[in-house]
Structure 1
């Protein structure tokens, strides 16, 4: 069952029942209107007992009547007045009346193991007027709604009200149409809507999730919890994209896991370490599972770039890319299995609990700037110690290679610690972050090229490669070797600034 996706851009107003709407044909880009049509809409809204969807400004409903009967999921887009809507028609929905999987997947990181239940029943008598442009195409739709709603929550009550909705249609609408419509409808009796949606008005106030932010003089605990909330939101936002294997989604979700762990390791005394240890372990496991899929994605991209300029045979292409594709597919299936487990949902619950009720550590009341300075100094000292050890090792040896990998991980930890301080807007932190990122990037290139050279050597030693392909492998290996030398030179140059 494939969901149909669209972005709706609309205005909503409260209005007195029976109030006559102004003539919308005076709006820019509008030259006419179709005859009004009245329809009856009956919708049941679904959410968890905790109202996890409503709290995140998401609505899920099953609606009959009108031209778009079916299941609908509406999510915020970050653009005022715009919402992303997924629709599954009844013909494509489960025959047993269950919520379609296509609508559960985008929100399962919020609902988790909690059951979706009916929370409101809303009936609407809607009179629709379609506004037409110069070529006769619909450019907007104006709806005059008489609404009756019954909250199905404990203690819920019955309500009646009237409202106007003005929605743009397609991409043909006049660029000033929405702004002009708002001005006209307000002048004609429309008032600022008391709720963002019919559901919100039907069930009343909900525990809305707000964007994390800091005050002017935050404590270390406030900074850390704000950072945890930011990365928690990032993890949640990439969850549905990983489930459909969207481009770069695995990488970004893995980064969110690592950034969360870096908060615990970078500021170990700000939160109670006994409470964060389990979370850190669980995040490490999740990052490792996602890492298998991410590593294969990186390798596929490298293989593509290396083979692009070479006259490689189909057999060599299959040896390099074909096997990696199979590895990637297995890794994605493993990631999906982990993300559907009770263990994963318990991890998300634990992160939410920590944000809501953070367990303070001995440095919780430190000034945030003092805590960041302390974390950065500790991380820089650790990197310099690792660099000192590197200087005693034979370049190119296994020990030297492993130490370079250690420095890369420490530079990444330093970068994440400085990123946590971004809300403090200190230039000195951004400078350190820039150097840490450059070190991480250069040594990451070294690591990727070394892994690839090992793979090339294995293929060459297999005895199944033709003479022509052996030549291609040699050319690729030489390019990788040169890439390693350039990356090491870059590392040595930027490491001086740490």
Structure 2
């Protein structure tokens, strides 16, 4: 069993040896009415990681801590510069399976071992507001770090943390920091105790990650593509724990990340060796397909629920809501199982290894050294040409299944064009940003059409199940008709949306 909380804090250097005499008076700062001494806590934590420190390299920490009010296992995952999600599990002798799974996208299945022991004598002060509510906790830690393997040496230091309470505006930290800064107190050199322990003790990974290939030219096409690929790999790794914990929209975001990576690896074949990237693209396609059912089910349930709730009561014939719940329970359970099976498979771990290697040492071709604007502009134009042909083909077809299929293919091409444009926004600037927005609008129109196509298929199955059970099918037929009308409306919107995206100067803009 686990529980979690959002932790928002900042760490500071302590300028005095005793760690107390330098502390400025914080009364009156950001609504602080009093500073209440809470005494001393003795904390003892063993941090776990892989031999090559994969968790630390991904800004995550896993520890087993005794002492204090929150003894237990803690997995900290990054959210923002100052915030982390801390997932807790009760004390036990080994790493809890739940935390091991949440760390899997970072550990990539490698064994988690004790790497460093950190003990701290913590002096705690509560920063209290006018209504006697705790705004934050200020702690001064006398820290001792002991490496548990290698030739590293122990280290010791003193640091301060200011952690806001759950309901406190994070802007509170800025006001406190201004006061601390005026007293000569600066930020700590590292964001966590583990990071500082690794630095201070000289603890090294047993197998250091490879550096980026020496052929990456700063500012080149290869450099820009590498940056984008790195960011998307990082996003996929970060989303894995959220998907496992069924966080809202996490499946959708992970699926989109798979698409972005697939699209960019395809669009930049002149930059990256396809002998390396094509197998990765296939595995990303596999992962995306395992996420698709869960996402589609989520979207359809939300869509149908809102449609049914908007109907007048006099039109609700039969056990419509009950039928929808039965349909969702069965479909959602199967989709969830397929997703978790995929994330727990050796195939997924192999994909994570491939992505880590791709981000760390991209397989660059000679073209990668070229000018980013020219190389990336050509990639945009190539995807645009494919999109242009598919939209034209779809618009030539009469309404019906063939046109639905053609519009879906145009939607896929719009996504690829959008993603390759998105990756080029930094070197190409405003023209790429504006074009990306217009293509996104085309994708939105085509996406609305495809959503209606998928919804009609599901409504037909719901109507069939209702009929077999002797239930009225009126509501399902009514919703089917409305979905058909929505699809027709999107088709009428498409020519205008496409006209804005297909401006004559496009080839001149990106081809120069």
TM-score by length of 2: 0.85
Contact 2:10 2:163 in 1 (8 A): yes
1:386 aligns with 2:387: no
Alignment of structure 1 residues 350-361 onto 2, 5 Å? 350-361=354-365
Aligned to 1:363: 367
* Structure 1 unmatched ranges of 5 or more: none
Q: 2:140 aligns with which of 126, 141, 144?
A: 144
Deviates more, 1:407-416 or 1:98-107: 98-107
Q: 1:198 aligns with which of 193, 196, 221?
A: 193
1:494 aligns with 2:502: no
**Per-residue deviation, 1:119:** 0.7
Q: Secondary structure at the match of 1:46?
A: strand
Q: 1:165 aligns with which of 156, 161, 165?
A: 161
Aligned to 1:17: 17
Contact 1:132 1:139 in 2 (8 A): yes
CA–CA distance in structure 1, aligned partners of residues 435 and 181 of structure 2? 52
Computed over aligned residues only, the root mean square deviation of the Cα atoms, in angstroms, reads 3.1
Deviates more, 1:173-182 or 1:279-288: 173-182
Alignment of structure 1 residues 227-376 onto 2, 5 Å? 227-310=228-311, 311-313=315-317, 315-376=319-380
Aligned to 1:126: 122
Q: Deviations over 1:189-210 (max 9, x none)?
A: 7564343333223222678999
Q: Deviations over 1:259-307 (max 9, x none)?
A: 0000121122110111111001000111111111111122212211321
Q: 2:421 aligns with which of 415, 418, 421?
A: 418
Deviates more, 1:281-290 or 1:55-64: 55-64
Change (3 A) 1:300 1:142: closer
Aligned to 2:65: 63
**Per-residue deviation, 1:123:** 2.1
Q: Secondary structure at the match of 1:37?
A: strand
Deviates more, 1:362-371 or 1:335-344: 362-371
**Per-residue deviation, 1:419:** 1.1
**Per-residue deviation, 1:420:** 1.2
Change (3 A) 1:20 1:274: closer
Change (3 A) 1:12 1:85: farther
**Per-residue deviation, 1:438:** 2.3
Aligned length: 486
* Structure 2 unmatched ranges of 5 or more: 503-512
Deviates more, 1:374-383 or 1:18-27: 18-27
CA–CA distance in structure 1, aligned partners of residues 141 and 441 of structure 2? 57
Contact 2:142 2:158 in 1 (8 A): yes
Aligned to 1:154: 150
Contact 2:49 2:113 in 1 (8 A): yes
Q: Secondary structure at the match of 1:21?
A: coil
Q: 1:440 aligns with which of 443, 458, 462?
A: 443
Aligned to 2:406: 403
Deviates more, 1:252-261 or 1:30-39: 30-39
CA–CA distance in structure 2, aligned partners of residues 397 and 343 of structure 1? 39
CA–CA distance in structure 1, aligned partners of residues 238 and 58 of structure 2? 11
**Per-residue deviation, 1:418:** 0.9
**Per-residue deviation, 1:48:** 1.2
1:85 aligns with 2:86: yes
Change (3 A) 1:31 1:477: closer
**Per-residue deviation, 1:109:** 0.8
Q: Secondary structure at the match of 1:11?
A: strand
**Per-residue deviation, 1:23:** 6.0
Q: Secondary structure at the match of 2:43?
A: strand
Q: Secondary structure at the match of 1:62?
A: strand
